[in-house]
Structure 1
Amino acid sequence: MFSLGFEGKGVYNHVMFIRPGSAIIHLDKSSPGFRMEGPGLKPKALVLLSGGLDSLLATKIILDQGLDAEAVHFITPFCKYNRNFIDRVSREFGIKVHAIFLGQEFLEVVTNPPHGYGSQMNPCIDCRILMLKKAKDLADKIGAEFLVTGEVLDERPFSQRLNAMQLIEREAGLEDKILRPLSAKLLPPTEAERNGWIDGERLFAIRGRSRKPQMELAAKYGIKDYPTPSGGCLLTDPAFARRIRDHLKHEGKLTLNDAILLTIGRHFRINKVKVIAGRNMDENNRLQEIAEQNQIPHLMVKEYKGPITLIIGEVNLDILEKAAAITVRYSDAPKNTPVKVLYKYEGKESEITATAISDDQLDHFRI
């Protein structure tokens, strides 16, 4: 539909966009996470670092048993990314952390997941399969013998049931290769346990959604200031899921550029046209940059602070008037007074007079 200029790499929400499969954090021999391989060392493990407490605990449990380990953190367009968290894990645990961006492959899973969705537009099973396949590739490259995750049996109803875990393992080609330290005593022994690479008696039998056992373990291991368990995936949010459904209904596909816009601003649908209004200065700056780079029609109130509003689709007078009214509604302009709104497109500028749209109309168009 249009390009945001992210061919190769760019910056979005402090995340460097890179080609899928590339590492954006790679520590060298001078880094605290560098470990030499050699005779006498236990097999290496690769830990999937989600960003929550469970994966931190899994990492600590493995390291406490003297295993050599590296970690991988996956980034998607719809999940929050905390570079400070990744740096802190590398520094405090002394391990190398790889961060892999999942782009179009991930969006194809979101669009058409073979195993369906969770409660909203979250394709948790297929997302997990994709991540594990990528982790398997990385494990092969770094010489890791098995994977470690912070998964807890029955913590998530869709992807962390026993049969779902086993399905995910099979389809990722990782049967017997995934150790889940927090629930290991409730699961069949893995290769790592049978071979004595790790002491199964020092693993745990946590099950269900209660966070008390994990919090007690965090206190035991001295892990403080850990992330809350509120989940960072936008696909589980009902309001954001509506945006995805609306987009797929009208566009039929989902590109990385589409995904970026879906995370910005307030979204409205007027017939077949999408209208996006910024919510703050940061979003306004990003929307204006996108509009100017891609020749997208956009609006702003002339004499008052307010949103940058993009119009994506074919513009006619009716669409323009409604988009202008939405722009006034979210500006500092008087709500019952006609004001001038600037309309910019292809380097040209014109004015239209508009009054703030009513709340009833606004709700009718809101996605």
Structure 2
Amino acid sequence: MDKKAIALLSGGLDSTLAIRLLLDQGIEIVALNFTSPFCQCNRKNSCQLESKKVAEKLDVKLKVIGLGKEYLEMVKSPKYGYGKNMNPCIDCRILMFKKAKNYMEEIEASFMITGEVLGQRPMSQHRKAMELIEKEAGLEGLILRPLSAQVLNPTLPEKIGIINRDKLLNIRGRSRRPQIKLALHYKINDYLCPAGGCLLTDPIFAKKLRDLLNHLKNPLWRDIKLLKIGRHFRVSNLAKVIVGRNKDENEQLLKLAKKEDSILKVTDYTTPVVIIQGRLNEEVIQLASKITVRYSDAPKEIPVTVLCQIDRDESLRKEIAIEESQLENMRI
């Protein structure tokens, strides 16, 4: 075992501090960042960009790994279940740690560093969960958590003297005060995601994802991306309507729409872009048209012209806005 480690780097404060503590002990570190459509870190930047900024400031190499189809399959059916919403935190950590182990072996690093804090996350950061994740990932004794090391069992690099345990910390629980104090010490004042950046923990997003998985057997990443855009309405068991909320979302919907998706707009007033996904019939088209009128600037009490692009053929129809009470029953 030598003084080379990989470190999981989200771009947030805890992982940044964990790396900084080990750099102080002369450890050679290669940072590893995982990307996922479920990340909600947005300072108009992704967590990937944030991790790149942090890696540059810390002067460490960075490897970025995208979580693909197997990650989505895990989210659909996690072995260890979900947290409060659709967050399969234990299964997620196991999958990431397995991939991290593969990369660790590839670059001949000896152990792994994370910014985890004992007791900070209710599902995956208590002692039993940490031990389970290590075992499932095949990394027992090789995951060093510098922020909580003194309240956890010594890891192999600590036992053999590569790491000075006395220079590690004993942080536990959900308070951020120790990390903020340490950040001031290291003059770290620009960080994000202090409360976590995973959309799977968000109840509104989780409801949309649950609806998607209930109605679509094999969703694509494009379907996941659409969950982050617009208002969603389940207009039938086989069809869903998505309504853009602003110019940016309208543009995103047009970019993500497939040729089999129908696109609706009001013609003579400021209008959202509305897409229909799924199986069409007259009732679905009528409901989608009424929803389009409801969220446009058109009068709500009189028939308004709606442009419908279906199978690349365009047609016009007159509809009045749907009633709010009816709309709420469809809202996802």
TM-score bin, normalised by smaller chain: over 0.9
Name the amino acid aligned to 1:361.
Q
Q: CA deviation at 1:184?
A: 0.3
**Are positions 1:283 and 2:249 aligned together?**
yes
Which position in structure 1 is the counterpart of 2:82?
117
Paired residue type of 1:148: I
Report the residue type matching 1:70 in the other structure: V
Q: Which runs of structure 2 are paired with 1:111-190 in the superposition (5 Å)?
A: 111-190=76-155
Q: Distance in 1 between matches of 2:131 and 2:29?
A: 24
Q: Which runs of 5+ in 2 are unaligned?
A: 41-45
Deviation string 1:174-203 (CA, Å, 9 cap, x unpaired) is: 000100000000111001101211110000
Cα distance per residue 1:55-113 (max 9 Å; x no partner): 01101101111110010111111113234412311221001111111011111111000
- The letter of the residue matching 1:282 is D
Q: Distance in 2 between matches of 1:187 and 1:290?
A: 46
Aligned pair partner of 1:101 in 59, 66, 69: 66
TM norm structure 2: 0.95
Once the two structures are superposed, residues 213-272 of structure 1 have per-residue CA deviations (whole angstroms, 9 ceiling, x without a partner) of: 111111111111111412211110111111111112222343323212222221110121
Contact 1:42 1:68 (C-alpha < 8 Å) held by counterparts = no
Query: Is residue 262–residue 308 contact of structure 2 (8 Å, CA) maintained in 1?
Result: yes
Contact 1:58 1:149 in 2 (8 A): yes
Query: SS at 1:294's partner residue?
Result: coil
Q: Is 2:4 aligned against 1:44?
A: yes
Percent identity over the alignment is: 50
Give the AA of the match of 2:243.
A
Amino acid at match of 2:291: I
Gaps of 5+ in 1: 1-40
Residue type matched to 2:253 in 1? L
* 1:281 partner letter: K
CA contact (8 A) 2:33 2:48 kept: no
* Residue from 58, 63, 66 that aligns with 2:26: 66
Q: Give secondary structure in 2 for the equivalent of 1:224.
A: coil
> How far apart are residue 323 of structure 1 and its match?
0.5
The answer to whether structure 1 residue 55 and structure 2 residue 21 are counterparts is: no
Q: Distance in 2 between matches of 1:214 and 1:226?
A: 12
Distance 1:77 1:294 in 2: 22
Q: Secondary structure at the match of 1:144?
A: coil
Q: Any conservation in 2 of the 1:111–1:253 contact (CA below 8 Å)?
A: no
- TM-score w.r.t. length of structure 1: 0.86
Matched residue pairs, number? Answer: 326
1:326 and 1:231 map into 2 onto residues whose CA distance is 34
RMSD of equivalent CA atoms: 1.5
Give the secondary-structure state (helix, strand or coil) at the position aligned to 1:57: helix
After TM superposition, which residue ranges in structure 1, 4 or more long, deviate above 3 angstroms? Answer: none
Residue 260 of structure 1 is matched in structure 2 by 225
